Structure 1
Amino acid sequence: MSVRRGEERANAGGGGVARRTVTRSAVMLAAGALLGGGAVGTARAGQSEPERAQSERERARAWVTPRLPAPSGPHPIGATTLYLVDPDRSDPWEPGIGVRELMLTVVYPARAVPGRPVARQMTEAAAALFAQIDAAVHHLPTSGVNWAAITTHAHLDAPAREVPGPVILYSPGGGDPRTLGTGLAEELASHGAVVVALDHPGDASEVDFPVTRPGRPDRVRTTVLRADPRNDPGLFRTMIGTRIADIRFVLGQLAVLAAGGNPDAAGRALPPGLGRALDLRRTGVYGHSAGGTAAAQALFEDPRIRAAADLEGYLDHPGPAPGRPGELFPVARYGVDRPLLLLGSAGFPHRGELARSWSAVRARSGGRVHRAEIAGAAHWVFTDYAALAPQLQAAGLMAADDRRALVGPIGPAESVPLVRGWVRSFFARQLPRR
């Protein structure tokens, strides 16, 4: 979701995969967009600035704007963003930035929403880059879709419902922004949870910050990934280690918020009652692909986390050579003493590789691990693509083969409730009201 505060904007959501590859050409296109290049088409020669702006508005109105499915819970929801800075860590991807920065979206049950505008899934700046970077990776249309116009069901900075609810963190997949996890976050929040979606800058395709800072002169930061992390053991280790450290840092900042403080590094005001909506005794984490890996390992490492859900993330490192298994993460070597959900898709082409580490953690966890699989689905069914890709195909903007490779042949009327139901019911059981 995008959240505007005065003239500041910040994006939100989540989803992705550790096997994602961002091509050099896609990143070059993204750089062109940042410099004012053709993110939404090129203007005709001789147009004045007002004429060019009008042409862009007309083009955007003619484009398709997909819809996100509404949440099913009884509570209206609000959304806000947090900008965090960890002064004790250097950024692992671009050391020149000097510190580790994070962008979060908090989606929560709202007390009242009248008069509060509805959030967009992405900011305009993030959407322009999404149409280049993410579209190139996933064979999405680079034109004909008004990504910036996709609305959510959350109201910006609405007062929070001051009933302490479970706090559930979300880590998207490798290379993906948090915006791609909007639908599931809203579903959980509509049923009483406070969901905190993380971007992992440098890894995420695009992150829109509210401010610039020394070492990062641009508001929007793009991914540094140029190859598949599963083909580079060192890169994969850095990715997962950074995500776990990000999750653990965020848990500490949420404690500041729950105690009445404001951890936002830009000092921006927070929605009334937000801190009192957090019950940190009921904290969970879920993630997709690389985010699922990080969620499971964070559960193993951090006792503040009471339950975790891994949505098709490996629990082992890449092997030293093709066909040779890699080292298991400690969570798979030793098992867990708290609940862990492993949720996969029948159409994931690397199910065999996944099975080794998933079987290992189940065998060592004394029945605390539950495993399930969604038939007719593919890897990105756990993200907003489950709803968006079929709409793009129906509009003639996405090939059927590309849609099937992304989310499988399953339709959103079936896949969206299945994914939401599995994750929602798991956390409802494991993080009950005390």
Structure 2
Amino acid sequence: MTSEHRIPLNGRVLPARSLRILLALLASMLLLFVDGAPARASVPGTGTNPPVALTVPQPTGKHGVGVIKSHLVDTSRQDPWKPERQRELMVSVHYPAVKATQYPLSPWLSPGVVPVFEFLMALPGYLAIPTGSVDWAGARSHSRVAAPLDTTATSPKVVLFSTAQGTTRELNTVLIEDLASRGYIVVSIDHTYESAAVEFPNGRVETGLNHDRGPVTQKKSIDSRVADTRFVLNQLAAVSGTSNATLGNTALPTGLAGAINTTKVGMFGHVQGGYTTAETMYADSRIHAGINLDGVMAYGDGKGGNPYLPGKAAQHGLGERPMLLMGAGTQGTPTNHDHTSGSDQSWTDFWSVHHGWKRDLTLNETALDSYTDFSFFLPQINTTVPIAPAMIELFIGRVDPVLSMNTQRVYVRSFFDLALRNKQSDLLNGPSPQYPEIKFNY
């Protein structure tokens, strides 16, 4: 089936026969909102079975994890999608924290995001998870809200994270919390009106717009995302080394601002967030190292009638700064996402012009959303609420999901340990018998 006969949703491609149903359902989604406030999520357990309770995988590091969420307003910039407004962002800051149980666990999904996410997951022809069958609102992360910084974490490094279009920053909690438990300060960014939903203070929710995949819109998107990321980095730099600082509207836990250092920052992102990582690195030398998780580095991919229009990183490389490409690996169509298979010209071009440290890894038998929290919650739901096997494979592939998540965490952590802490790892030198599911494309 050619791309002309399919449509994207949240980075996922659906058959064209779902188009009319999907558009009608998305239109009806407006009924969920009144004056910008989300409707209440459906009450779980209204059927014959109790709702599925979701368990977020435990981080693997020795530190506890703290989190604060901050509302940032860029008063110097109009919103690219709603120019009558100033650009507003929500970010989460996860950090190594003392294991203080008196601080509440943060919800996995923000309360205002839950009804939007539940609606999308219930779409027929998508995952079709019945409304009320999963306790989305009850799931808790392992991060304690505003818990004190763990001062035994020596010189924690700052790592930024950028989401894919149509998801939320909260759908990468597993990777983010794991890095924080290993002594990193991870700042994740929701790009407003590209994320499925963003909850702002006082319960205001801004839902995503239906962005087309044409080059003009995608170029506008990547330019906005780069500006968002640099603005966030500037906000972090403004509080770096201070005491009792406030980030946006949120007071930072004691010691956290003093631990923030923006002179040698890492960044990673998923799909468009991976592209954002590369383009922000090109624009801003403060970002020393990056990981692109399965993202095309072009605003025109040369497919489906679109021209091929590579980004600046794919045209010029990133100097001597280290970059890790991690692609999904499927058999048949589409082929593995790497620089050697011809599946993505932008990766091939980047590989030829980037002369710094680089690796191209494929996580075999995975799919696009293997690099998100879909890998933990789809199998948990499927044990009680059956999901079509073809849909599970479409989202997270055929790989064992626990193995997939553990492998991602190890390789993402090993890369940042090497690039930001100069901590050597044989894992990045070549194939490992401990992780045979990782293929090196070098």
Give the shorter-chain TM-score range: 0.7 to 0.9
Match of 1:279 in 2: 261
Task: Answer yes or no: is the 8 Å Cα contact 1:39–1:129 preserved in 2.
Answer: no
Match of 2:323 in 1: 340
Match of 2:135 in 1: 146
Question: Which of 271, 291, 301 pairs up with 1:289?
Answer: 271
Deviation digits for residues 295-324 of structure 1, max 9, x if unmatched?
011111110000000001011222577366
**Structure 2: where are the runs of 5+ without partners?**
1-8, 424-442
Q: 1:38 to 1:306 in 2, by over 3 A?
A: closer
Task: Answer yes or no: is the 8 Å Cα contact 1:161–1:277 preserved in 2.
Answer: no
Separation (CA, whole Å) in 1 of partners of 2:343 and 2:74: 33
Deviation digits for residues 318-354 of structure 1, max 9, x if unmatched?
2577366512111011112201110001128374665
Please report how far the alpha carbon of residue 280 of structure 1 lies from its aligned counterpart in structure 2 after TM superposition: 2.0
Match of 2:251 in 1: 269
Separation (CA, whole Å) in 2 of partners of 1:37 and 1:264: 26
- DSSP 3-state at the match of 1:306: strand
Separation (CA, whole Å) in 2 of partners of 1:258 and 1:233: 37
Name which of structure 1's ranges 411-420 and 24-33 shifts more when overlaid on structure 2: 24-33
Task: Answer yes or no: is the 8 Å Cα contact 1:164–1:276 preserved in 2.
Answer: no
- DSSP 3-state at the match of 1:318: strand
More helix by share: 1
Residue 84 (structure 1) aligned with residue 72 (structure 2): yes
Match of 2:53 in 1: 65
Question: Which of 241, 244, 254 pairs up with 2:226?
Answer: 244
Name which of structure 1's ranges 101-110 and 317-326 shifts more when overlaid on structure 2: 317-326
1 or 2 for the larger relative contact order (CA 8 Å, sep ≥6)?
Answer: 1
Task: Answer yes or no: is the 8 Å Cα contact 2:67–2:95 preserved in 1.
Answer: yes
Match of 2:437 in 1: none
Name which of structure 1's ranges 361-370 and 248-257 shifts more when overlaid on structure 2: 361-370
Alignment of 1:375-390 (within 5 A): 375-390=364-379
**Structure 1: where are the runs of 5+ without partners?**
1-15, 42-55, 212-217
Alignment of 1:17-28 (within 5 A): 18=11, 23-28=22-27
More strand by share: 2
Residue 349 (structure 1) aligned with residue 342 (structure 2): no
Task: Answer yes or no: is the 8 Å Cα contact 1:154–1:186 preserved in 2.
Answer: yes
Match of 2:200 in 1: 209
Residue 192 (structure 1) aligned with residue 183 (structure 2): yes
Please report how far the alpha carbon of residue 274 of structure 1 lies from its aligned counterpart in structure 2 after TM superposition: 1.4
Match of 1:418 in 2: 407
- DSSP 3-state at the match of 1:124: coil
What is the identity, as a one-letter code, of the residue corresponding to 1:114?
A: T
Q: 1:320 to 1:192 in 2, by over 3 A?
A: closer
Q: TM-score, normalised by structure 1?
A: 0.84
What is the identity, as a one-letter code, of the residue corresponding to 2:100?
A: V
Separation (CA, whole Å) in 2 of partners of 1:292 and 1:39: 33
Separation (CA, whole Å) in 1 of partners of 2:192 and 2:371: 21
What is the identity, as a one-letter code, of the residue corresponding to 1:92?
A: P
Separation (CA, whole Å) in 1 of partners of 2:172 and 2:382: 20
Please report how far the alpha carbon of residue 26 of structure 1 lies from its aligned counterpart in structure 2 after TM superposition: 4.2
Alignment of 1:283-322 (within 5 A): 283-318=265-300, 322=304
Question: Which of 95, 98, 109 pairs up with 1:122?
Answer: 109
Match of 1:95 in 2: 83
Match of 2:440 in 1: none
- DSSP 3-state at the match of 2:176: helix
Please report how far the alpha carbon of residue 270 of structure 1 lies from its aligned counterpart in structure 2 after TM superposition: 2.4
Name which of structure 1's ranges 255-264 and 243-252 shifts more when overlaid on structure 2: 255-264
Match of 2:204 in 1: 219
Task: Answer yes or no: is the 8 Å Cα contact 1:84–1:103 preserved in 2.
Answer: yes
Separation (CA, whole Å) in 1 of partners of 2:143 and 2:220: 33
Task: Answer yes or no: is the 8 Å Cα contact 1:17–1:289 preserved in 2.
Answer: no
Please report how far the alpha carbon of residue 198 of structure 1 lies from its aligned counterpart in structure 2 after TM superposition: 0.6
What is the number of equivalent residue pairs in this alignment?
A: 394
Please report how far the alpha carbon of residue 292 of structure 1 lies from its aligned counterpart in structure 2 after TM superposition: 0.4
Q: 1:57 to 1:421 in 2, by over 3 A?
A: closer
Task: Answer yes or no: is the 8 Å Cα contact 2:264–2:288 preserved in 1.
Answer: yes
Please report how far the alpha carbon of residue 58 of structure 1 lies from its aligned counterpart in structure 2 after TM superposition: 5.5
- DSSP 3-state at the match of 1:404: helix
Task: Answer yes or no: is the 8 Å Cα contact 1:122–1:147 preserved in 2.
Answer: yes
